[in-house]
Amino acid sequence: NAGVTQTPKFQVLKTGQSMTLQCAQDMNHEYMSWYRQDPGMGLRLIHYSVGAGITDQGEVPNGYNVSRSTTEDFPLRLLSAAPSQTSVYFCASTMGGGGPYEQYFGPGTRLTVT
């Protein structure tokens, strides 16, 4: 069981470039989410998905797109990177949202936009 995996671990982008952060889980979890972590701000929810084909916005969705074509994968796309998107990104999965379910986190992707 690999749990939640994320690639890449580190990435440097120039302003205006696009890229996709990959996230996969092998626990057959329906619910997946993306967070960004910034100093002094905790983790903030970007987008989430309650199942294949269903996504919704979180607290800070602007500048990011997601899709969920399979249960296992939940990629996060940066359409046109901006310095404000410099952050550490975490993907998480859980059995279900809205309940006492543990979220399992990936190791994170550290993104720098110059």
Partner 1 sequence: AQSVTQPDIHITVSEGASLELRCNYSYGATPYLFWYVQSPGQGLQLLLKYFSGDTLVQGIKGFEAEFKRSQSSFNLRKPSVHWSDAAEYFCAGNFGNEKLTFGTGTRLTIIP
Instruction: Give the residues lining the site for partner 1 (CB under 8 A).
Output: 4, 31, 33, 35, 40-45, 48, 50, 56, 58, 90, 92, 97-100, 102-103, 105-108
Question: Closer CB to partner 1, residue 14 or residue 99?
Answer: 99
For the CB of residue 8, give the shortest distance to partner 1 in the complex, in Å. 14
Task: Tell me the CA distances in angstroms from 29 to 25, 73, 110, one per residue in order.
Answer: 8, 10, 24
For the CB of residue 66, give the shortest distance to partner 1 in the complex, in Å. 14
For the CB of residue 97, give the shortest distance to partner 1 in the complex, in Å. 3
| 57: β partners | 47
Question: Closer CB to partner 1, residue 14 or residue 98?
Answer: 98
The secondary structure of 37-104 as a DSSP string is EETTTEEEEEEEEEETTEEEE-SS-TTEEE--SSSSB--EEESS--GGG-EEEEEEEES-SSSSPPPE
Question: Closer CB to partner 1, residue 58 or residue 75?
Answer: 58
Question: Closer CB to partner 1, residue 17 or residue 104?
Answer: 104
For the CB of residue 98, give the shortest distance to partner 1 in the complex, in Å. 5
Q: Name the nearest CA neighbour of 34 among 87, 77, 79, 90.
A: 90
